[in-house]
Structure 1
């Protein structure tokens, strides 16, 4: 009698959890919905926990299911890395690398590097997402992430500095003519301010405190936008003042469609970091991407320089 693969139901669970649908997962696996459902039931019975909430319209993970999915994905990553490290004579990177980037910065400055790298390595597959919120690398099955800003405690992650970005405050000439040019940070209280609204909370502006250091300062918020490009568009439309990185508005500043203000106070800098999960072995496919981004930063690429 054939021995049942003990991990078959695990693969079935991952397929359902990632697709959020028994129907979609069954089609992808070449199973009937009934067979897939029975496989998940057997897995839950073996583990002694409920992994999925099932309704007529949707499937969602229980807290135990979320934890189990993260463990399954991490185990899969370890197995993939082990296979790659044991593949004799394999010197060229191959396989899929999942990378999460900040939206505007990632599209403008990191994506071109990744596309060039993909052209150099035909067996390298890239999955690139753009996100303005912080993601859990292990839970989301992400290999690399670029983050802008100060890092929290990252004990389970490795961080390498790519560079930094400098912030300025600017507005359209039409707005400054209408509302006046602020000469001190205190005068911001009388202005319409446009902020980058992320992760469900407001972000203050980095301003000089007069002692050569910067600090986060609350400002009156008139408009909230979901990413940097939307903030720039609102400023260009004359809706108010915005604090943005110089790389985002360099062309507009040169053209005079945006004008910087409070230059003696608004030069805050934010670090740009590349992060990945800490492990004893890094797959070649990931190492190639890491090395390419670090090399671009070391060579003084404008993308990673404050200016």
Structure 2
């Protein structure tokens, strides 16, 4: 049943003429007549009693008219509500994310969202430690995790994208120390490491021609902040294994250079996590959509400049 047909029916009942109703609705008389006919066929009753001179509601039409008006009013209210929420979000959103995401990608993205929605209040929890939704008072968290981990968490999640990683270094570092081309070479270089909960990630899992290998790297520094690892790498202090999302700008500008391209890092995934689907708000959906758009732009630029391939950064089919 078309909303337009209901509107024509109500207008014809109001003015008592198909021709007049058509003029007021800015449609042709034949289109108005067909709309009434379609509605009558769907309902299986005659809504009007017609004569050569006039048209009036049938008993069934009189019974149906108030319900048609109510249905149109409800649809209009729903449209107004959705439009208002889309145009200007409001309320408070409490969101958790890693330090690197917070300082870079999300800082810029949330600036844009809040400029367009000034009544939306943001409360951010930025830390590389795993957030506790209850203790930290968080509504939604941006996390790198697998689909299996999402299921085990017993929470609700939106998958945002796949996350490829690359091994990279600055041109300055490579000029001073040479570029490693094998894992044996890599062992002779200084790796910049990420640590969390006193666990230093000094074993890198890589894939070469379909075979997974683990290599222990040497390092003179580690930190519990992913953004500092990136900055150290740009400064020329060593080699790092970094998310393409985090270092896309550095790779595109030439501040960092991808190395050991024959070795690939297993994909991870980015998810927006909530305690319940009932906590999904227009603000959460907007941030998810904005994230997808911004990250897809980074993906396309890396692929178009041959830094990465489609196979290395596959599109996420999650909705």
C-alpha distance in 2, partners of 1:212/1:194? 26
Question: What's the TM-score once normalised by structure 1's chain length?
Answer: 0.60
Distance 1:246 1:178, change over 3 A: same
Measured after TM superposition, the shift of residue 206 of structure 1 is 4.7
Q: Alpha carbons of 1:147 and 1:205: their partners in 2 closer, same or farther (altered >3 Å)?
A: farther
Which of these residues, 73, 91, 94, is aligned with residue 95 of structure 1? 91
Q: Once the two structures are superposed, what CA deviation does each residue of 1:187-245 show, in whole Å capped at 9, x if it has no partner?
A: 32221110122232112465433342656643223211232321122223322111112
User: 5+ unaligned residues in a row in structure 1: which ranges?
Assistant: 1-88
Structure 1 residues 251, 300: CA separation in 2 closer, same or farther (over 3 Å shift)? Answer: closer
Distance in 1 between residues matched to 2:96 and 2:258, nearest whole Å: 31
Do the aligned partners of residues 258 and 210 (structure 1) sit closer, same or farther apart at CA in structure 2, a change above 3 Å counting? closer
Alignment partners' CA distance in 2, 1:227 and 1:177: 26
SS in 2 for 1:147: strand
C-alpha spacing 1:216/1:276, structure 2 compared with 1 (3 Å)? farther
Counterpart pick for 1:219 among 217, 220, 225 = 217
* Structure-2 change in CA distance of 1:231 and 1:99 (3 Å): same
Select the residue among 272, 276, 279 that pairs with 1:278.
Answer: 276
Structure 2: stretches of 5+ with no match in the other structure: 1-80, 300-312, 315-319
* 2:285 counterpart residue number: 291
Name the structure 2 match of 1:158.
156
Query: Is the 1:205–1:218 Cα contact (8 Å) retained in structure 2?
Result: yes
Aligned CA-pair RMSD: 3.0
1:302 counterpart residue number? 296
Alignment of 1:200-211 (within 5 A): 200-204=198-202, 206-211=204-209
Task: State the aligned residue count.
Answer: 215
TM-score, normalization: structure 2? 0.58
The structure where helix makes up a greater share of residues is: 2
Deviates more, 1:206-215 or 1:129-138: 206-215
| Offset from partner CA, 1:261-285 (integer Å, 9 cap, x none) | 1011034432111001126x33xxx
Q: Partners in 1 of 2:295 and 2:253 — Cα distance?
A: 23
Residues 20-39 of structure 1: pairs in structure 2 closer than 5 A: none
Q: Distance in 1 between matches of 2:114 and 2:151?
A: 32
Q: In the alignment, is the contact (CA less than 8 A) between 1:98 and 1:141 conserved in 2?
A: yes
Higher RCO (Cα < 8 Å, 6 or more apart): 1
Check conservation: 2:182, 2:260, Cα contact below 8 A: yes
Structure 1: distance between partners of 2:152 and 2:214: 22
